[in-house]
Amino acid sequence: MTTKSMPAFIQLALVLASPFTLVASQVPGTSDAPHPEEQVLYVTTESFKSEVLESSLPVLVDFTATWCGPCKILDPIIDGLMPEMSGHAKIFKLDIDKSPEIYTQFQLAGVPTVLFFNKGNEQDRIIGPQSREVYIKYLKGLKRGTPALDIKIALLGEDSFRRDFIENQRPDEIRKALKQFPNLLTEAFENGQSPLSLILNSLVGDREERINLVLAGNPTITAGNLVGLGRCEEFENLVAQYPEAVNRPDSDGNTPLLTALIQAGRLEERSCLRTVLDAGADPGIQDTSGFTLGRAAVHSPEVLEELLEKGLNPNHVDKDGRNALHWAAFYGYPPTVRVLLNHGADPTVQALNGETAADIARSERDQWITALTESGMNPETGGVLDLRSEVIGLLEGSESNGE
């Protein structure tokens, strides 16, 4: 999942002091605590069906975790939906560490993610914090029976919601929205970032189709965009005129080097990665993007080795506290793990959820074993499991040597 900075909306109830309220607060058996139906409660694996899927009202479920930084931004916003939505919708939180089955069932990629349900079916999902008004309008729209797409189009004026829509909605829904919101893919966001740069620096599905939709609107093309589109010669000519462009980040903190790394797999022989490196890209610059250079480089041990020798910090972490070693363990790449360990990556560092790289590798291996067993395959078969076991051995051995 990329982090968006936004204010936390906290509602304060201002109560005028009066003799009645002072006395009432002292009456035995009374309390000023909110009624249970006016609070945001937690739903679990055991109660999910009855509380969410069988609800006669629209339901919002905030998938969260205690270790998640962006979740702390969203928490007071979700809490502030009550008591206004009482009787109109049901609001729940779900701790993914206590109810991982539901998190897996709905194939979520990260937290925070908010899912909307109506009449037992998922209607939509929003990744990352939004303003309170977005959730209120969405739930009231579902209560009125407004189609989900119409609700979303009405919310596209909200900057953070438009980002989420462009990244996560299907291309056919984007096409429909363009008919009513023609500037959807060309108008810059509030911080100056362009929709094209957003797509080129995100792990979005149907990326090629989304890129073509944006290009149809003749957007302004930046140095980083040239790299992401595989227009290497144009980038080279631009840097010859403006040398500082090789390391200039876009409004979200993505440098041309990061864009080149993210797009290398998609572009293959058209990749501009070598062009960017030869032009003097500096991997030692501390990137401010939500998608770090270390994570983007773990797929190629040779490229990672070069970046580390040129100054990449192997212990730089992302918004979830994960460094390159955590991601190499997640993907199960033994050669990359070796490179990182040889360059001083610390295997004992914990991500925000408390997991070390070895913990992540063990968790991913166990999930593979479960998946293979459930599909009737022999979990002792080689391939991916052998690679993951090799990663675990490397990390556990390095941890022991460091004690």
Contacts of 383 (CB under 8 A, 6+ apart): none
Q: Provide the 3-class DSSP secondary structure of residue 124.
A: strand
* Measured distance CA(299)–CA(117) in Å, rounded: 37
Closest CA relative to residue 323, chosen from 302, 309, 306, 304: 304
Do the beta carbons of residue 266 and residue 208 sit within 8 Å?
yes
* Residues pairing with 60 in the sheet: 91, 116
Which whole-number Å values give the CA distances from 25 to 14, 18, 19, 39, 300, in the listed order? 15, 11, 10, 20, 65
DSSP label at 9?
Answer: P
Task: Output the six-digit token pair for 351.
Answer: 């991500």
* Measured distance CA(364)–CA(392) in Å, rounded: 10
Residues annotated as part of the active site: 68, 71
Task: Output the six-digit token pair for 58.
Answer: 């629209």
**What does the chain come to in residues?**
403
* Measured distance CA(297)–CA(280) in Å, rounded: 17
* Measured distance CA(202)–CA(263) in Å, rounded: 10
Cis ω before 335 (30° cut-off from 0): no
